[in-house]
Structure 1
């Protein structure tokens, strides 16, 4: 029997979704427990972490300025820039010290609890720096403890993580539920690493890789462990208790910019409706919530409809949201989805230019298909989200106009706009010249990409330049383009930057989406831990009662 401490620190929680439970770690913990091992989750995505990383002594003096520059888009004066720069330097100094304390806390927990291994979920930026510091401290002070790492960062960068540190014994690629128990056996000296799938590990001076083996018995996995003994951060109101339900994985679409087929496979695998019902009941029992989002990158229409039928037939009063792909979702029964509790669907349409969809993105969709699916979703009263990547490779005025005209015609309920992110492992990253990307390859590039930090107090145009260019433009130059595109969308009377989980939260609170978006954004960007704590507590107290007719009262967050 081995004891495994599972750790996640993603850095500052910029969005409300950063405060939701980590279903991946909960699933890994359950796998360990089912095999007779012990597991504990140390999740720093909490209200308390926000308060640690942005102390009131720094936030109070610049709150009005931050709101003006970041939320109301006032052009900062020279004096404003100097004040933000000075505050940013102080904040970064403070956060570096806090990262050291977090590393010490992880090491102390591993020691006091008697962990045989520590598994880190790696994130980019300050989260990666914190994991590296903690791993190196554990290596020095607890040399008998095995140290593993997985998560999205490993899927992006693979063995390049070893350029930053030699503290990790092994890295786990892709899915981890069928790997975590063999890792526990390795930590207990009863298994050799070369027999464990999906690993990148050090063997003396060499780096070795084992075979990729997909997770085969997904339906048979134990239910995620959300009990507070295993997952202490779920005690009280440190996290938003809206669940993440892992209903599907994989993606048969081959979008040029997307990592999902690499991470979870090029085919869908789905859980049965019976299993989904069990997971909903698990969320009810351990989180006290009937509100959840599906975790899949695009829930298949057949699975979405079958799950909806099961939820409706069983009379389970739930509220949920999901991702969808227009190429498949035209087959969904949207009326049944709505009746079962589906509140919002997030479609990544990315563009409405046939040329961009085909040559730059490989979306496999056409504007007429997108128009049909978005209208079908809206007609059934489901909040319809259509996200855009702007500017996409080879974007021009014609493609920009096509997308804006399409949005103005169809009028989705929300239009999130994202920059063209160059993610390692995607077609964009493998063939950068084909798409107009330019970056310098080599260790310094990957080190910079792994540790890239968002400058919380500044608009994107003031962030450190990304380590690549698009059609000769630096990120500071092309960051200005999506900002202008967002203004055009908002000028047409459409809402931006409300993803599906944010919409769910607004409905729990009975607030207008724009009102909740602005409330949450102001609290998080200004480091107002008191306001965030109040939001989290209010959501948690209302997740179940809000589903019963007549029991939900208007929110009590006024005045903030």
Structure 2
């Protein structure tokens, strides 16, 4: 049996700049199949610069038995297009889509999209292997845990398997990827890695807990060290993004990873996504983290008041955010803050107050995101129930476009304020000077990129105004 896993051509997320990350999930699935003797190949269209036409030719040449793809909500349309291409080439190809979106939208996916044969639900390593074995033996799909499929006009869901033991998984099949092609804006020779799975928190806007299951599962720090060493020594990776939902849940685990980096003399710059309150809780590890190469932390600030944070079930206070930003500055680390605009209670004043709050915090660089109701979240369930959703174009579910209005603003007004937030912060003379005059070269480079991004937002805004003005 020949399995082809596809990372389809994607429009880049403008906010992230030039950015191509390895499809870590597909590489993990491929590794599980490969060590069990399955013929598997990965096509990463973005890294290999393949067009849709190129992809169709590649699938035709590969002659796969099964074509698989994984998708978050915003990339579901591209995953669907892959399956349509595969079926056009050969109707007998088994088409499988996994990932967060289809996990939570099983019925809609299978009833509305006949070119998708099977949905993989939740973690996929054991699911994909069991599915391949079932197909090889012409067994009963109903015996494969963690999938959904059509039978006699009905959608059949099988029970989910037990959570994966993360330390029993093989390292991702990086050798099946064009590793030299991955980079992230100013961080060349870039790669992503996971040191854990899951998140113990229950933020209303996040679907990760529903996808990975409750709780947090850390990997053995020595195994994380093995993977980092492989990436650095064999593939020349110098910049690492820990893509964990929350990297800093456990200070001791984090410290042990740092010790592995230092013990192996890995000259890496690395960055992570974590919580402000946990950064404060584990502040004694910050000097060790800095010595081990940690340059930046991305923290979820999300709001400008304790009341807003409570509404998001963030379990965080503004005082903790302030202390976290201060600690990062004291230890020579850069703070990237994520903040949400366009919540149901937001008006123009409350949104711009968030910009003022970030300036007052003296954060290094913020990323503004629009409140997006992802399937699998309490936000989505409420928005659907109350009729707030104004588009089902999943390509727009990327946190850069409004999906629903607020109680005070239309979607168009939210979009205008989103552009204004970036422009207001990144063209502020004081913030600009601090960024461009920083002693950190890569921080200066990021600021140059963000200035260009703010300029593009302005140009896009005024180009639209001109088109509207001269429209006949």
Q: Same fold (TM over 0.5)?
A: yes
Residue 120 (structure 1) aligned to one of 69, 82, 94:
69
User: Given the alignment of the two structures, is residue 316 of structure 1 paired with residue 266 of structure 2, yes or no?
Assistant: yes
* Paired residues of 1:156 and 1:423 also in contact (CA < 8 A): no
Give how far 1:163 is off: 4.2
Give how far 1:146 is off: 1.3
Q: 1:431 matched to which residue of 2?
A: 382
Q: 1:351 matched to which residue of 2?
A: 303
SS of the equivalent of 1:266 reads coil
* Paired residues of 1:249 and 1:297 also in contact (CA < 8 A): yes
Q: Superposition pairs for residues 84-95 of structure 1, below 5 Å? A: none
- Judging by fraction of residues, say which structure has more strand: 2
User: Given the alignment of the two structures, is residue 372 of structure 1 paired with residue 323 of structure 2, yes or no?
Assistant: yes
Give how far 1:409 is off: 3.1
Give how far 1:518 is off: 5.1
Q: Superposition pairs for residues 84-483 of structure 1, below 5 Å? A: 99=52, 101-102=53-54, 105-106=55-56, 108-122=57-71, 124=73, 128-227=76-175, 230-231=176-177, 233-234=178-179, 241-299=189-247, 300-302=249-251, 303-332=253-282, 333-359=285-311, 361-396=312-347, 399-400=350-351, 403-432=354-383, 438-439=388-389, 448-452=392-396, 468-471=404-407, 473-483=409-419
Structure 2 Cα separation of the partners of residues 128 and 358 of structure 1? 31
Structure 1 Cα separation of the partners of residues 453 and 424 of structure 2? 23
Give how far 1:193 is off: 1.9
* Paired residues of 2:194 and 2:242 also in contact (CA < 8 A): yes
Given the superposition, is the C-alpha separation of residues 369 and 467 from structure 1 closer, same or farther in structure 2, using an over 3 Å criterion?
closer
Q: 2:463 matched to which residue of 1?
A: none
* Paired residues of 1:4 and 1:38 also in contact (CA < 8 A): yes
Give how far 1:4 is off: 0.9
Aligned residues: 444
Given the superposition, is the C-alpha separation of residues 130 and 516 from structure 1 closer, same or farther in structure 2, using an over 3 Å criterion?
closer
SS of the equivalent of 1:362 reads coil
Structure 1 Cα separation of the partners of residues 423 and 298 of structure 2? 21
How far does the alpha carbon of each residue in 1:481-510 deviate from its partner, in whole angstroms, 9 at most, with x for none?
Answer: 2223334433273369x9xxxx9x973xx8
Q: 1:66 matched to which residue of 2?
A: none
Range that drifts further, 6-15 or 270-279: 6-15
* Paired residues of 2:269 and 2:293 also in contact (CA < 8 A): yes
Q: 1:45 matched to which residue of 2?
A: 46
Give how far 1:348 is off: 0.9
Given the superposition, is the C-alpha separation of residues 137 and 236 from structure 1 closer, same or farther in structure 2, using an over 3 Å criterion?
closer
Give how far 1:373 is off: 1.4
* Paired residues of 1:8 and 1:45 also in contact (CA < 8 A): yes
How far does the alpha carbon of each residue in 1:200-255 deviate from its partner, in whole angstroms, 9 at most, with x for none?
Answer: 2111211011112343321111111111xx22x44667996411111111111111
Structure 2 Cα separation of the partners of residues 164 and 452 of structure 1? 19
Give how far 1:197 is off: 2.2
* Paired residues of 1:356 and 1:392 also in contact (CA < 8 A): no
Structure with greater contact order relative to length (CA < 8 Å, sep ≥ 6): 1
* Paired residues of 1:178 and 1:215 also in contact (CA < 8 A): no
Give how far 1:16 is off: 4.4
Given the superposition, is the C-alpha separation of residues 408 and 301 from structure 1 closer, same or farther in structure 2, using an over 3 Å criterion?
farther
User: Given the alignment of the two structures, is residue 493 of structure 1 paired with residue 441 of structure 2, yes or no?
Assistant: no
Structure 1 Cα separation of the partners of residues 49 and 441 of structure 2? 22
* Paired residues of 1:245 and 1:292 also in contact (CA < 8 A): yes
Q: 1:544 matched to which residue of 2?
A: none
Structure 1: 5+ residue runs without aligned partners? 53-98, 455-459, 527-560
Give how far 1:301 is off: 4.0
Structure 1 Cα separation of the partners of residues 387 and 304 of structure 2? 22
Structure 2 Cα separation of the partners of residues 316 and 380 of structure 1? 20
Structure 2 Cα separation of the partners of residues 110 and 193 of structure 1? 25
Structure 2 Cα separation of the partners of residues 27 and 17 of structure 1? 24
How far does the alpha carbon of each residue in 1:30-68 deviate from its partner, in whole angstroms, 9 at most, with x for none?
Answer: 11101111211111123724xx5xxxxxxxxxxxxxxxx
Q: TM-score, normalised by structure 2?
A: 0.84
SS of the equivalent of 2:149 reads strand
- Measured on the aligned residues, the alpha-carbon RMSD in Å equals 3.3
Q: 1:513 matched to which residue of 2?
A: 446
Given the superposition, is the C-alpha separation of residues 392 and 116 from structure 1 closer, same or farther in structure 2, using an over 3 Å criterion?
same
How far does the alpha carbon of each residue in 1:274-314 deviate from its partner, in whole angstroms, 9 at most, with x for none?
Answer: 01111102212442213211010111242322211222233
Structure 2 Cα separation of the partners of residues 129 and 254 of structure 1? 28
